[in-house]
A and B are shown apart, each in its own frame.
Chain A
Amino acid sequence: MAPPTKQSTAKHSAVWIVVGAVLFVLGWRALVMAAQYFNEPDSVRQLCSVPQFEQDLSPNNANTRLVFCQDTEAGVGIYFCETDGGKPRLLCEQKEKGNRGRFFSMLGWTPDDSLFACALPDNEKDQEFILIFDGRTGQLLDKIGVDQSLNEFAWLSTESFAYSAAGTSVRVVMKQADGGWVHKRYFANVATNMDNLVAVSPDSVAWHDGTGIWICNINSGSPEEIWDATTNRLVEFTSARDGSGFLLNCSDDLGQYLLWFDPQNKRTVDLGRISDQQNYVRSAIWNGHGSSYAYLTNDLAGSAFCIKIAEMNTPITIPWRGGVHNLTLNGNQLFFAGNPEDQPPGVWEYDIQSKTFKCIVSSMSGPLGNRIGSPPMCQMMTNSLGEQRFYHLWAPPHVSPGKKYPILLAQELNYWFPCFQIAADSGYYVAVVDRPFFNTWNGNPEHSWVEDIGSLYDVMANNRNVDTNRVYLYACSRETYFLSQLVDDRPSLAKGAILFNPTGLPDTSVLQDKRILLVDGKNDGDAVKRLSEFQDRAAQEGGNIITLFLQNDTGHISASGTTAFDQTRQFAKFVSNQK
């Protein structure tokens, strides 16, 4: 055997050096991953995985069964359950992959609870279907193709329903003797932008269009305006199930108030003021032939349900420490999708007689464990417009008196949103203005995002533990336009920003040394091109690090548990890296 030469010795040394260098880099990466894993609170991983509730709940008239909508792994599912317990059953699912920006919706129960309906777009074709289910078993009975796009739906009777197509026309579908459902009547162009279609009787429907409420007999097909918002501003309205009255939620400079409107004699009754805050009352529900109603408002406890039923002279207020997604009132039961403070959401029932809350469906098998921070405090502030705002403040866990912490500022409806808890558990202060419920009735939404967040920053800057050099902003969808406006106006205010599904982007010429997370779906219009160009410009401009996360098979709205999980993971990574 030849003795080892100098060349072979040198080659061996070089091989070992190369192997050592590669192992060093891999080891470094492994250490970073391990540090991230062990530094990440368990609650963050848990919070990312909680399936969200979508859209409205739909209890039957007898309050014995409930249909609701919740994220599944691959899409969104319609679930059916008994209100007295039992595991919810998945009736059908709309996959996120391939959906064309249309989502299914609850259409409600027939007056006798024998049927309920949902609208389900077909991902394969540009076609929407109305699914009719058996109200007792949840079995799918029929699938009816929709003409044009379905906007609103109302059961006229057990054997007929009406829906609005393209926001301008009304179609009436009736059950035939052989059990099949057939389109019978079509009233084209009876409205310009129809909303809130309700059945007033088996022969008539009502809707609002522009600033008025309209009624239409399905036999004659001639619409008539029965009410017009000339002296006040209508935030929303609902109708009694039989159409005997309308509940109008109106606002003015002094706050909000309710009106009851009788379509028969066109008489309006003032039910009184419900809030001295503008736009903090939502989801006003009219029930029981006009004898009862409920609505939701924000207060310093978090949320509050105001309920009036037939036996009461004045409404009662039920505080709820947490957020509420939507609610519905049925007799003596109030159903809502919401979350107790700092816990993931579920479907809840409040029994007005016994004054008890009961969780019917939970998004988790047990309570959220391992939370290391405190529940948020609800406080009040005045924005630069002079309007009062509620805001929630989460503190990081184990605050040291002399230490400065980064802060995340946002505005959001008082819903459960896991990212805020994640940021708080990751060591941030999180201050979130409760977004007012904006008036979109006449197409003139009001936004005070810039003023709210600017004022919230000023409030939080007085906190000695808040590091004003590490301020981050969060906004989603249309809010990103306002976030961009704030960043353009006050470029030194924030160190970075998190924009989900952005429609507006900051001016890159004012961005210096910013850290920005952009999250969007690849199918959200021109998001790929628009956001990539922004990333290029911002990177070139001066020290800006733009993290761009574009999700496959996703549009503007995330519509599956997997998409929501991935978005939340990116958020968690971003806040952890910026700490």
Chain B
Amino acid sequence: MQSRLPYYFINSAAGLLAAMAALCLVGNLATGTLTQPHDPVLAVSMRTMLWISGAAALAGSLFCVFSKGALSKAAIVGWLSLNFVIYGLGFHWAGAHDFGSYLGAIAGTFGISTDAACVILTAVWLYLLAGSLLLLVWSGSQQIREQKAGYLKISCSSCGGKIKFPPADIGRQISCPHCQAMLTLRKPEDLMKMTCILCGGHVEFPAHAAGQKIPCPHCAKTITLLQTA
């Protein structure tokens, strides 16, 4: 269960960032004939700020979808949300008493009050900031725990997915957490390495499997397992 939380958070972050991007961009497009106030932090028009915010949120959302590694995604979400939270605090420091006064474009476009728009945006950015920070802290502590416990790391012979396990589990048969294929946990140094001649993908296999023909976990074409020099 614990390992699913980062997955849920990153997916929710991708969705929320996409929604934020749509809010900003649609809000700007729908109020194109109106002049927006200048924000007191950067002294640029709120129209410009909405374009920038929308583009940043969209980029963050796409990064969450298409990049690899939960940590890098959490780092990007955290960095984005931290920027927005600091920007929001900048309003107060600059003497603007009500952030909602600057959100007329979003409020008017979506038929909500400026207070509601302010609450929605603040809640989303705080959630993203808190979630990404927690995820980063949790991942960091997990890594430290794994290092302390001397965790070993191998690749699944079927799908190539990385699997970590404590030394005590050597010899245990498990289903791969990525592709559910059955495999036996072995010491990493027991594994031989080769490169698929068809796709160039990295393949690791136990010594006893040398000479066998298997579908490449990357390109699915049949290859013969041979250790490359």
Contact = CB atoms under 8 A, between A and B. Distances in A.
Interface of A: 1-3, 5-7, 10-11, 13-15, 17-22, 24-26, 28-29, 32, 35-36, 528, 531-532, 535-536, 538-550, 566, 577
Nearest to B65: A14
A536 B19 CA distance: 27
A26 B21 CA distance: 11
Contact of B65 (A2, A18, A539, A546): A18
B110 A546 contact: no
B109 interface: yes
25 contacts: A2-B159, A3-B158, A3-B159, A5-B159, A10-B11, A14-B10, A14-B64, A17-B14, A17-B15, A18-B18, A19-B18, A22-B19, A29-B26, A536-B38, A539-B37, A540-B94, A540-B96, A542-B97, A542-B101, A543-B97, A544-B101, A547-B34, A548-B36, A550-B35, A577-B108
A385 to B, nearest CB: 37
A32 B159 CA distance: 47
Contacts of B157: none
B14 A14 contact: yes
Interface residues of B, number: 52
Contacts of A26: 22, 26
Contacts of A36: 111
Nearest to B64: A14
A19 to B, nearest CB: 8
A364 B179 CA distance: 72
B145 interface: no
Interface of B: 7, 10-12, 14-16, 18-19, 21-23, 26, 30, 33-38, 40, 61-62, 64-66, 68, 94-98, 100-102, 104, 107-111, 114, 158-159, 161, 177-179, 215, 217-218, 220
B11 A32 contact: no
A535 B40 contact: no
Contacts, number: 125
A532 B38 contact: yes
Contact of A29 (B16, B102, B109): B109
Contact of A21 (B18, B66, B109): B18
- For B16, B38, B68, the residue with the greatest tally of chain A CB atoms inside 10 Å of its CB is B38
A18 B110 contact: no
A517 to B, nearest CB: 10
A13 B65 CA distance: 9
Contacts of A540: 40, 94-97, 101
Given A18-B14, A536-B38, A545-B104, 10 more contacts: A5-B179, A11-B66, A14-B14, A17-B12, A18-B15, A18-B62, A21-B15, A540-B95, A545-B114, A547-B104
A540 B19 CA distance: 27
A545 B101 contact: yes
Contacts of A539: 37, 96, 101-102
A13 B10 CA distance: 11
B134 to A, nearest CB: 19
A536 B37 CA distance: 5
Contacts of B68: 7
Contacts of A22: 18-19, 21-22
Contact of B179 (A6, A531, A543): A6
Contacts of A544: 101
Contacts of B18: 17-19, 21-22
B102 to A, nearest CB: 6
A25 B23 contact: yes
A25 B95 contact: no
Nearest to A543: B98
Chain A CB count within 10 A is highest, among B22, B23, B161, for: B22
Given A11-B66, A32-B110, A6 B161 contact: yes
Contact of B37 (A13, A535, A549, A577): A535
Contacts of B62: 18
B178 A10 contact: no
Nearest to B97: A542
A546 B18 CA distance: 28
A15 B61 CA distance: 9
Contacts of B36: 548
B30 A29 contact: yes
